[in-house]
Every structure is written in structure tokens, then in C-alpha cells.
Amino acid sequence: MDIPPEPVAVRAPGYAGPTMMRQSWRDAGFLHWAVEPGDVAPMLPPGVHPDVIDGVTYVGLVPFRMVGAGAARGPAVPWLGTFLETNVRLYTVDDTGRRGIVFRSLDASRLAVVIGARAAFGLPYRWARMAFAASDDEVVYRAVTRPGGHRSVVALRPAEPVVADPLADFLTARWGLHEDHAGVTWYVPNVHEPWPLRRAELLACDDELVAAAGFGALAARAPDLVHFSAGVSVRFGFPRPALRREPAPR
């Protein structure tokens, strides 16, 4: 890659394209493991590379509640637009210097959403039985994939707000998705307010999703970073070839 990566920015760039869909991500947990970039590179689409900070890249396990998803600027889709999701993701930069993420897996509790997302975008969605519980000082996420039976149980205790943390910004201020679909590397832009991010204490992590995504060695060690956020409201633009810059959603 000859073009240097764009700067990390906690606020979305000035976007000026149509909106494909909107949704809210609520009660999000972020578990991250540092890994060698060479372990990630073979898993990425053509023209996309591991995004590196301090010599390493990261694998993220992110459980959350999807709330009020809907097409364009229309109303949220009843029932189908609200569900639980957990994804395993990687951190990327393409040949134009644009930062993003690549999903290794996405597990969701709505079968119709799984079928639609796989058909329309080629995203690696799976159906899962999932549960979420929250109390005054603890959040718990549970998932079992169907089929496959891969389990995940994560319990967090949210703590103090994150202030001026470049690594946390690097991992959460991501304004697009890279995806290899139908022989093309695509980029799907998104825009949302800055994450209200908090550090979190990991109370439990019994997870098989990260190993199933190709990172079995990480099951033997605790994550390097754990965060929590009450969430953000998100708009997605339409997919476009990753190596051509165009306006994103407005």
C-alpha cells in the first residue's frame, strides 16, 4: 500500500451520500486481543491489509443489541429491526488509505436478517440463540450458534469513562466495512456520533466464537482490552468498490 492510512478520527468525516439503512447499536461490549498482522493478512479481501498500531493489529469480539433497524430514512422495521448480535471483527486499511473493519463472523438472533444479509451483501451471518441481561453493575451476553453449537458467554462490569485514549479510538472510530463479495472488494461507509466509551471489568468470558473465526490460540488467554458503551445511532451508505473514493451517507 503506497498511500498512508487516513488519520484516526473519533468524529465521522463530513459525509454527503444517500443513506441505505439506519439502526442503533446499544449496550455494546468490546473485547480485544492483540495479534501479529501476519496472522490476519490472509483473511482479508484483495486490496485490504491489517491496520496496525504499535506493531500489532487486533481481533475484536463485540456483542450488542441491534435496535430499530430500518431502510433509508424510513421507520424501523417492527420486530425484525431489533435483535441481538455478536460479531468477530478485524481492523483494516485499504489501498486508498481508508480505514475500516472486516467481519469474520456475525451471529444474530433473527433468522430472516441472517438470510437477507447473506444474500444481499455476502456477509458471514449465522443464526444464533442469544440472550442479554443487564443490572445496575453488570451486563451479560449469551449466544449459541444454530447450527454449529459454538457458544459464547461474556459478562462485564462497566467502569470509568475513557478519556483521550488513542488505542481505544483506533479500535472503535471506524467509518466503514470492507467486504469481498461477487468477486469485488466493497466498502460500505457508516456515520454515527462518537462512542460514549467506558472501560470495563471482565467478569466472565467463555467463548468459542473467536476460535471458530480462525483464532483458536486466543481462547487460552484473556483479552488485552475490555470496554463497554451505551451505544450510538448509525447510518450506512450504499456499497461501492473499495478502491474508488466516493461520497458517503448524509
Q: In this predicted model, what pLDDT tens digit does every residue of 105-156 receive, in sequence order?
A: 999 999 999 999 998 888 999 999 999 999 989 999 999 999 889 999 999 9
What's the pLDDT band for 70 if we cut at 50, 70, 90?
confident
Asked if the model's pLDDT at residue 244 lies above 80, the reply is no
CATH fold for domain 28-241? Acetoacetate decarboxylase-like (2.40.400)
Distance CA(92)–CA(51), nearest Å, equals 4
Q: What is the pLDDT of residues 187-208, one digit of tens each?
A: 999 999 999 999 999 999 999 9
Region 17-41: mean pLDDT is: 96
Residue 165 pLDDT > 90, yes or no?
yes
On the question of pLDDT at 13 being above 90, the answer is no
Residue range 51-63: mean pLDDT, rounded: 98
What pLDDT score was predicted for residue 98? 94
205-218 mean pLDDT: 97
Q: What mean pLDDT comes out for the span 155-178? A: 97
pLDDT band at 250 (very low <50, low <70, confident <90, very high): low
- C-alpha distance from residue 106 to each of 27, 86, 201 (Å): 17, 6, 24
Q: What is the per-residue pLDDT for 160? A: 98
pTM for this structure?
0.94
Q: Which of 247, 230, 186 is nearest to 67 (CA)?
A: 230
- Between residues 248 and 101, which one has the greater pLDDT? 101
Whole-number pLDDT of residue 245 = 52
Judge whether residue 81 has pLDDT over 70: yes
**Contact residues for 12 (Cβ-Cβ < 8 A; gap 6+):** 175, 190, 191, 192, 193
**Given the DSSP bridges, would you call strands 151-161 and 139-145 parallel, antiparallel or unpaired?**
antiparallel
Q: What's the whole-number mean pLDDT along residues 35-57?
A: 97
pLDDT of residue 88: 98
Whole-number Å distance between alpha carbons of 208 and 200: 21
* pLDDT at 28 exceeding the cut of 90: yes
- Give CA–CA dist 17/220, Å, rounded: 44
Percent of the chain with pLDDT over 90: 82
Instruction: Pick the more confident residue, 75 or 217.
Output: 217
For the chain, what are the domain ranges?
A: 28-241
